[in-house]
Amino acid sequence: MSTTENRLRVYEQTKPLFNIPDGVTYLDGNSLGPLPLSTADRMGRVIQQQWGVELIRAWNTAGWYVQPRKLGDRIARLIGAETGSVTVGDTLSLKVYQALSAALEMNRDRKIVLSDTGNFPTDLYMAEGLIATLGRGHQLRLVRPEEIEESLSEEIAVLYITEVDYRTGRRHNMAELTARAHALGIVTVWDLAHSTGALPVDLARVGADFAAGCTYKYLNGGPGAPAFLYIAPRHADHARPALSGWMGHAKPFAFDLGYAPAVGIERMRIGTPPVLAMAALEASLDIWDRIDMHEVRARSLELADLLIGEVERLCPQLRLVTPRSHEERGSQVSFAFERGYAAMQALIAHGVIGDFRAPDIMRFGITPLYIGKAEVMRAIEVIERVFTRELWRRPEYDVVHAVT
Amino acid sequence: MSTTENRLRVYEQTKPLFNIPDGVTYLDGNSLGPLPLSTADRMGRVIQQQWGVELIRAWNTAGWYVQPRKLGDRIARLIGAETGSVTVGDTLSLKVYQALSAALEMNRDRKIVLSDTGNFPTDLYMAEGLIATLGRGHQLRLVRPEEIEESLSEEIAVLYITEVDYRTGRRHNMAELTARAHALGIVTVWDLAHSTGALPVDLARVGADFAAGCTYKYLNGGPGAPAFLYIAPRHADHARPALSGWMGHAKPFAFDLGYAPAVGIERMRIGTPPVLAMAALEASLDIWDRIDMHEVRARSLELADLLIGEVERLCPQLRLVTPRSHEERGSQVSFAFERGYAAMQALIAHGVIGDFRAPDIMRFGITPLYIGKAEVMRAIEVIERVFTRELWRRPEYDVVHAVT
């Protein structure tokens, strides 16, 4: 897949494949990717023909049972993972939990999980929960992102971080940190939530141990789409599944009373897979199969530079929090602004959808499959209007929603 | 809901609401419920209008964020649970894990989890995994189903069983066992996989502590539809979430670094909810909202008695393993037959879909919303033909599929 012949030219050939509502400039694909035009039909067929007609037989005839691995292999290409090393299912919270649990067991003599304050909170919460369940004196040590490298030591059991910071867009150097961690006997767990589909990832080459990510952001898998888990093949047959469900059993349909893990990554399946959600993901991966991640990256940096330059020039009230260096950032651009919540509401009301992350971060996702120079210029125009006229002062933009 | 005026008469008014393929007699709704005719449209609207047009805003505007609780409240009615005591998400494997973990922490001085050999294996596997993770000398004690009552003692921490046996259809007496467990200081976790939508359940009245179930069987939520978890309101604010994801945080959108559980059952949410899968479930609950579970139960017993009587009369090769007493059984009928796998393949080839569970159980699900006397008589006719002519001897029925 993604051979030169069938490759799609990013933006020119991909934008027509997505449903972007009229009047909307959508810079929130880093939170929820927009709808591929082919998804509804695919879902309709799976519902009507597979569920509706094949019924229970579709587990075999339509391949439902093997979907977690088949979809995993398609994601594997995008993150530089080996074939057969990725499984799809559940949520990212659960997948990082599975990874962290297995990683800690590989380093039983050490008690410290090292993470940073830029990690997405659910990763930290899941670690807290696991540590409490373990009850063996593990500690979650949080440092600032820029302190991670100096905090690696032979005391650390697991390095447990997100490559790209969900608020600032700051990017860790995965290759360097992994090498340094390994030299110190540390096992690594990478959260790829803001990497997968955003930039090239090369898990096999950097020698990553565990990684997890989600598919509802850059990959356009749909709201609440399933997550994925990667385990390096050298570990996969040794990793103990803490969440040992029947789908990860060596012989699920023998219905044995005792658990025996399946070979390889399959052991990290848990319960019955989410067939309908996987149907939507399958439709979006039909696009991603034909994408060159290096092309995505080049376009995303170019567009982000344009956004940064113009917003800094036109809106001095906004303070860039995303690193300027290409190497040190992901695919989103974030600005700090004290009244950022209201300002983002004002932008949304004027057709530019980004999002807000407490306490003061305005995020703009750069997603080149459907965002090009025209969309970024339009966003800049609206941002300028909102800030020049201080539209964020209007009381209607202070209404707080359940989900921000 | 289910007031006398809007109630649907089971079968006569409900069968037309389902897609049952021509020529198929579907007795496997206890494994995968068939497709409601309204599901595809509902899904299409959620995809096209909510995801497609509202995009990220749909978390608020379309109520995605509160769906786990809203759907939970609709399931609550079917299982006699208090409003606000049920949350929807993840898989049954994960929901029983959450329940068992919290239950064990309520009984810290005891180390034994009591279950039976008729429990669905994933429940046992998840318990094994939890016990290994805890590493504190807990023991999973398995007895035969009929030995459960006599095995209750002050040594037991948690009674952890499935109300209706997935193979035999044998039903535990939930009220009696719960009362007896409580008298001995035992916390109860009930798996309702083969109860929800199959027969009246009355969690609040029996004083159950924890319960979990799935929605892809009797409730017709679709393949891999999300599961649900019940916690008695008296426990919900004290139960520690072992799987402490951001959606169960007291303030998910404050993005605090430290975990603090939400009030009540909301704390048992884990990651981002499966919006598309919930859309399908919502469509099927539109039917279930209008169903009287006592009517379902009366019809199911009547149809099961018919099936049992005729099969025993016509096919002496088959040995009934489902209890004859109405009180002691759920809504499925199971027969043991040594060549059951091949026999079930022969039945399926002749349009009667049931399923097989190792080593020798042929299961027939009685689901009165779309199965009536005509369907059962048709099934009996085909079963008789397969056994009278010994069609299971044909080699083509010995092909083993991945999913049985």
How does residue B205 score in pLDDT terms, banded at 50, 70 and 90? very high
B340-349 vs B373-388: helix crossing angle, rounded to 10: 120
Q: What is the pLDDT of residue B404?
A: 65
What's the token pair of residue B76? 């609550």
How does residue B401 score in pLDDT terms, banded at 50, 70 and 90? confident
Domain A15-30+292-398 top-level CATH class: alpha beta
Residue among A100, A271, A130 nearest B133 (CA)? A130
Please say if A217 is a catalytic residue: yes
Please say if A251 is a catalytic residue: no
Give the gyration radius of chain B's Cα atoms: 22
The residues of chain A scoring below 50 in pLDDT are none
Q: What is the pLDDT of residue A398?
A: 84
- B133 assigned to a ligand binding site: no
**Alpha helix locations (H) across A79-154?**
92-105, 121-134, 148-151
The answer to whether A53 contacts chain B (CB < 8 Å) is yes
Q: How far apart are CA A167 and CA A335, in angstroms?
A: 9
- Cα A80 from chain centroid (whole Å): 15
| Unique residue bearing structure tokens 């309101």 | B233
Count Cβ atoms within 10 A of the Cβ of residue B144 and give its class: 0-12 exposed, 13-18 middle, 19 or more buried: exposed
- B4 assigned to a ligand binding site: no
Residue among A376, A393, A223 nearest A301 (CA)? A376
Q: What is the pLDDT of residue B277?
A: 98
| Unique residue bearing structure tokens 């399958």 | A282
| Contact state of B271 with A91 under an 8 Å Cβ cutoff | yes
User: What is the pLDDT averaged over residues B275-302?
Assistant: 98
A244-272: b (≥16 Cβ within 10 Å) or e: bbbbbbeebbebbeebebbebbbbbbbbb
Distance from CA of B4 to the nearest CA of A (A): 30
B398 pLDDT above the threshold of 90: no
Tally of residues, chain A: 404
Which amino acid, one-letter code, is at B140?
L
Element (H, E) at B40: helix B39-45
Please say if A15 is a catalytic residue: no
DSSP B48: I
What's the token pair of residue A74? 């398609």
Diameter of chain B measured on Cα atoms:
68
How does residue B5 score in pLDDT terms, banded at 50, 70 and 90? confident
Q: How far apart are CA B92 and CA B306, in angstroms?
A: 32
User: What is the pLDDT averaged over residues B94-115?
Assistant: 98
DSSP A27: -
Evaluate the CA torsion angle A269, A274, A278, A281 in order and state its sign.
Answer: negative
| DSSP states of A260-290 | -BPSGGGGG--SS--HHHHHHHHHHHHHHTT
Rounded to 5 degrees, φ, ψ at A118 are: -95, 0
* Interface list for A 179-208 with B (CB within 8 A): none
- A120 assigned to a ligand binding site: yes
Element (H, E) at A143: strand A139-143
Cβ A101 vs Cβ B232: under 8 Å: no
What's the token pair of residue A330? 């992901």
Rounded to 5 degrees, φ, ψ at A39 are: -65, -45
Residue among A207, A202, A224 nearest A215 (CA)? A224
Residues of A in contact with B255 (CB under 8 A): 121, 167, 357-358
Distances in whole angstroms, Cα of residue B47 to Cα of each of A52, A61, A197, A280, B83: 19, 26, 21, 10, 29
% of chain B residues with pLDDT over 90:
97
Q: What is the pLDDT of residue A404?
A: 65
Domains of chain B, residue spans: 15-30+292-398, 41-288
- A246 assigned to a ligand binding site: yes
* Interface list for A 261-300 with B (CB within 8 A): 270-278, 280
Cβ B72 vs Cβ B62: under 8 Å: no
Q: What is the pLDDT of residue B206?
A: 98
**Does the ipTM exceed 0.85?**
yes
Cβ B130 vs Cβ B100: under 8 Å: yes
| Contact state of B56 with A353 under an 8 Å Cβ cutoff | yes
Cβ B362 vs Cβ B322: under 8 Å: no
Residue tagged active-site, from B69, B74, B170, B217: B217
Count Cβ atoms within 10 A of the Cβ of residue B221 and give its class: 0-12 exposed, 13-18 middle, 19 or more buried: buried
Q: How far apart are CA A185 and CA A179, in angstroms?
A: 10
% of chain B residues with pLDDT over 70:
99
**SS3 assignment, position B318:** coil
| Contact state of A35 with B21 under an 8 Å Cβ cutoff | no
Distance from CA of B318 to the nearest CA of A (A): 21
Rounded to 5 degrees, φ, ψ at B227 are: -95, 180
What's the token pair of residue B305? 């008695």
| Contact state of B48 with A28 under an 8 Å Cβ cutoff | no
Element (H, E) at A78: helix A67-78
The answer to whether A367 contacts chain B (CB < 8 Å) is no
B41-288 CATH fold:
Aspartate Aminotransferase; domain 2 (3.40.640)
Distances in whole angstroms, Cα of residue A48 to Cα of each of A272, A348, B15, B44: 20, 36, 17, 12
The answer to whether B82 contacts chain A (CB < 8 Å) is no
Q: What is the pLDDT of residue A403?
A: 75
**SS3 assignment, position A18:** strand
Closest partner residue to B271 among A39, A92, A244, by Cβ? A92
**SS3 assignment, position B182:** helix
**Alpha helix locations (H) across A289-370?**
293-314, 340-349
Please say if A167 is a catalytic residue: no
| Unique residue bearing structure tokens 């897979």 | A273
Distances in whole angstroms, Cα of residue A303 to Cα of each of A112, A333, B313, B331: 40, 10, 76, 60
Cβ B137 vs Cβ B126: under 8 Å: no
Which amino acid, one-letter code, is at A166?
Y
Q: How far apart are CA B177 and CA B208, in angstroms?
A: 10
Q: How far apart are CA B352 and CA B340, in angstroms?
A: 14
User: What is the pLDDT averaged over residues B345-362?
Assistant: 95
Residue among B273, B287, B275, B227 nearest B35 (CA)? B287
Q: What is the pLDDT of residues B130-139, one digit of tens each?
A: 999 999 999 9
Distance from CA of A184 to the nearest CA of B (A): 25
Cβ B209 vs Cβ B160: under 8 Å: no
User: What is the pLDDT averaged over residues B87-107?
Assistant: 98
A67-78 vs A275-288: helix crossing angle, rounded to 10: 30
**Is the peptide bond between B395 and the residue preceding it cis, with omega within 30 degrees of 0?**
no
Please say if A216 is a catalytic residue: yes
- Cα A97 from chain centroid (whole Å): 15
Give the gyration radius of chain A's Cα atoms: 22
Cβ A397 vs Cβ A391: under 8 Å: yes
% of chain A residues with pLDDT over 70:
99
Residue among A317, A334, A377 nearest A352 (CA)? A377
Tally of residues, chain B: 404
Rounded to 5 degrees, φ, ψ at B261 are: -70, 145
Tell how strand A156-162 and strand A187-191 pair up. parallel
